Amino acid sequence: MFSFLAANWGTLLIGLLVATAVILILIKLFRDRKKGSSSCGCNCAQCPSSGMCHANQPENSRR
């Protein structure tokens, strides 16, 4: 077991760092979605999907 860890410590470390980054990104997306934040951050008037995101809001209140 120790020989496996000694031979592959670099790969395991990079894999652990990538997995940590993915978990942190997913946590951030979950918290933003829970708060009602949008992920695009663009102008809704120019977005072709604005009707789906803001279906219950009047047309002039979309930003």
> pTM for the complete prediction?
0.57
Query: How big is the CA angle at 15 (ends 9 and 20), to the nearest 5 degrees?
Result: 125
One-character DSSP codes across 37-59: --SS-S-GGG-TTHHHHTTTS-G
pLDDT digits (tens, 9 = 90+) for 18-56: 999 999 999 998 998 888 776 666 666 677 776 776 666
CA pair distance 1, 24, nearest whole angstrom: 30
